[in-house]
Amino acid sequence: MHNTVRFVLDDKIVEIDFTKAGLKPSTTVLNYLRSNPLHKGVKEGCAEGDCGACTIVVAEPGNNGDLLYKALDSCLVFLPMIHGKQIITVENLAEKGKAGILLHPVQQMLVETNGTQCGYCTPGIAMSLFALFKNHSSPSREVIEETLTGNLCRCTGYQPLIEAAFEACKGGPDHFSRREKKVMTLLEGINSGRETLEILTESQSYYKPFTLPEALRLRKEKPGAVVISGSTDVALRQTKKRELLPVILDISGIEEMKSFTETDRDLVFGAALTLEQVKEISDKRIPALNKILRVFGSLQIRNIATLGGNIGSASPIGDTLPLLFALKANIKVCSSGSERIIPVEEFITGYRKTDVRDDELITEVIVPKTPDGVILESYKVSKRRNLDISTVSAGFRLKTRDGIIEEIALAFGGMAATPKRALKTEQFLEGKKWTRGTVQDAMKIVHDEFSPLSDARAGAEFRKTVAANLVLKFYSETT
């Protein structure tokens, strides 16, 4: 067991002993950096993952012996989550040499395109563009826009930022590429042991195992611990509700839970795969899943939020859930010595409640391959296209033979306390002709089948109308 956290910052290993430093282990990376006079460029705007002012880049060893660079919202990341990784902030971008300071291509282009005014958002934008630079040499406009969805700028406007992104990415290898080997050696030194982190302070205990058996052992030993995977839901309990989470079990370091396998029958997603990884995997394999993930949070959120976390939250507006219902996905949960496989519909047992027991973890999401002839679709209706929570979401499945509906599933989010299928409407449709007339009759049933809440996002009647209209949209897109 280790009781300190180590990571690379400014090309050196930093070690934090939380007891000596008087910090609780769930100190966010943002608050840690803000306390360091050399890294005050990182800003706090919202403390809830919405503005991107706190964006940093985290580099970690990838599978090909190189470093992977990802932009994250540092306000949602607890320090032990970056154990064994490199933190890069805006202060690290420029190269400081004998000849003076040489701006990084993304900084240089922000200057040349006049991409900044008040400057509050600029460090976060520079970091998002830096991650883009490291991952794309010739990004499309769509990729650039996706990169910037998690960075709000109230004054400059996005056109100069898009131009800066196009131009900066044309630049060749930067000083980070030249130093990658050195950083890799430092990170290997930290990661060699893979011993569980056990950080015990007066007010908080934080456990970070690196293997599944160890995580399951701790899960059994600490049944009251709050499990975190990406922490994009849980961190808000601390940053917004000011809750103290006395015991945390952090499963973000477990490689066994980050795998993807494809068998003859199934697509098997590790529960700790990030939603950005799931988005990439599903691109050709499950386009409807890829589609809903393109409008899920922002890139910074998807780079850390996990599929298991979206299911574990059991939110009525969890965006992957209606489609997982339509896909007939199964959830695998494990405890030390046993495992269960549960259909996702049964797994969600109530408002923000799941069937997972105190000694279990969600380990896999098993999606049966879709037989030929089955159509799948997903929809998200929200006030803004990007970085917004769904007002209504949907996952639909349809199979017809000779124009007759053989199989239909219409699952909705935002219409009840849990994601829910429109069973009465499905019953009405089965065996009927898939025609506009039938669908218009079905729309009346969908409209009356749910009793959604009215809240800040929408009134109940609006939600009912949207749900009915989505069925019509589905019809028009399938004929």
Ligand X SMILES: Cc1cc2nc3c(=O)[nH]c(=O)nc-3n(C[C@H](O)[C@H](O)[C@H](O)COP(=O)(O)OP(=O)(O)OC[C@H]3O[C@@H](n4cnc5c(N)ncnc54)[C@H](O)[C@@H]3O)c2cc1C
Q: Which residue ranges make up the site for ligand FES (CB under 6 A)?
A: 44-47, 49-54, 73, 75, 116-122, 153-156
DSSP code of 307?
H
Token pair listed for 10: 């400014």
**Window contacting ligand X (CB under 6 A); options: 85-93, 103-111, 136-144, 230-238:** 230-238
355 binds ligand X per the rule CB under 6 A: no
Q: Is 178 left (phi over 0), alpha (psi -120 to 50) or beta?
A: alpha
Nearer CB in complex with ligand X: 18/78: 78
CB 329 within 8 A of CB 181: no
Q: Which helix (H) or strand (E) holds 440?
A: helix 436-449
Question: What binding mask, one character per residue, do residues 431-450 give for ligand X by CB under 6 A, x or -?
Answer: --------------------
Q: CB 35 → ligand X: shortest distance, Å?
A: 23
197 binds ligand X (CB under 6 A): no
For 355-359, the CB contacts below 8 A with 24+ separation are 356/312, 357/333, 358/219, 358/223, 358/224, 359/216, 359/219, 359/220, 359/223, 359/335
Shortest distance in whole angstroms from residue 102 CB to ligand X: 34
474 contributes a contact to ligand X by CB under 6 A? no
Query: Judged by CB under 6 A, does residue 163 bind ligand X?
Result: no
Contact partner, 362, from ligand X, ligand FES, none, Cβ < 5-8 Å per class: ligand X
Selected from 229, 282, 330, 378, the binder of ligand X by CB under 6 A is: 229
Does 318 contact ligand X by CB under 6 A?
Answer: yes
In the list 26, 310, 330, 391, the residue contacting ligand X (rule: CB under 6 A) is 310
Could you say whether residue 82 binds ligand X (CB under 6 A)?
no
46 binds, among ligand X, ligand FES, none (CB under 5 to 8 A by kind): ligand FES
Q: Side chain identity at 136, as an amino acid letter?
A: H
Q: Tell me the two tokens of residue 259.
A: 């795998």
Which residue in the block uniquely carries the two structure tokens 């995580």?
215
User: Judged by CB under 6 A, which of 57, 71, 227, 439 binds ligand X?
Assistant: 227
How far is Cα 444 from Cα 469, in angstroms, rounded to an integer?
A: 10
89 binds ligand X (CB under 6 A): no
Instruction: Give the integer Cα–Cα distance in Å for 207 and 247.
Output: 8
Classify strands 197-200 and 100-102 as parallel, antiparallel or unpaired. Answer: unpaired
Residue 422 near which of ligand FES, ligand X, none (CB within 5-8 Å, type-dependent) = none
364 binds ligand X (CB under 6 A): no
What's the CA gap between 191 and 185, in Å, rounded?
10
Partner that binds at residue 394, options ligand X, ligand FES, none, CB closer than 5 to 8 Å by kind? none
DSSP 195-218: PPEEEE-SS-EEEE-SSHHHHHHH
Of ligand X, ligand FES, none, which one sits near residue 117, judging by CB under 5 to 8 A according to partner kind? ligand FES
CA 128/CA 57 separation, integer angstroms: 8
If one asks whether residue 365 binds ligand X (CB under 6 A), the answer comes out as no
Tell which one of 296, 379, 396, 475 touches ligand X (CB under 6 A): 296
Nearest-angstrom CA–CA distance, 140 and 213: 42
Number of residues that bind ligand X (CB under 6 A): 30
Residue 202 vs residues 20, 24, 125, 184, 207: alpha-carbon distances, Å: 12, 9, 37, 34, 14
Question: In terms of CB distance, is 298 or 370 closer to ligand X?
Answer: 298
Stretch that binds ligand X, among 93-101, 134-142, 222-230, 399-407 (CB under 6 A): 222-230
Phi first, then psi: what are they for 61, rounded to 5°?
-60, 135
405 is a site residue for ligand X (CB under 6 A): no
Nearest-angstrom CA–CA distance, 81 and 304: 10
d(C-alpha 394, C-alpha 217), whole Å: 37
In the list ligand FES, ligand X, none, the entry touching 155 (Cβ below 5 to 8 angstroms by class) is: ligand FES
Q: Which does 271 bind (CB under 5 to 8 A by kind): ligand X, ligand FES, none?
A: ligand X
Residue 309 Cβ, how far from ligand FES at the closest point, in Å?
17
CA distance 382 to 457: 8
Interface characters, 37-56, with ligand X (x: CB under 6 A): -----------xxx------
Closest CA to 279 of 146, 157, 173: 146
Report d(CA 477, CA 315) in Å as an integer: 28
Q: Which of 127, 216, 299, 305 binds ligand X (CB under 6 A)?
A: 305
Query: Tokens 């639909």 sit at which residue?
Result: 396
Q: Exactly one of 8, 23, 67, 301 binds ligand X (CB under 6 A); which one?
A: 301
**Residue 332 Cβ, how far from ligand X at the closest point, in Å?**
10
Among 146, 174, 276, 319, contact with ligand X (rule: CB under 6 A): 319
Contacts to ligand X by CB under 6 A: 48-50, 226-234, 251, 271, 296-297, 301, 305-306, 308-310, 312-313, 318-319, 356, 361-362, 389
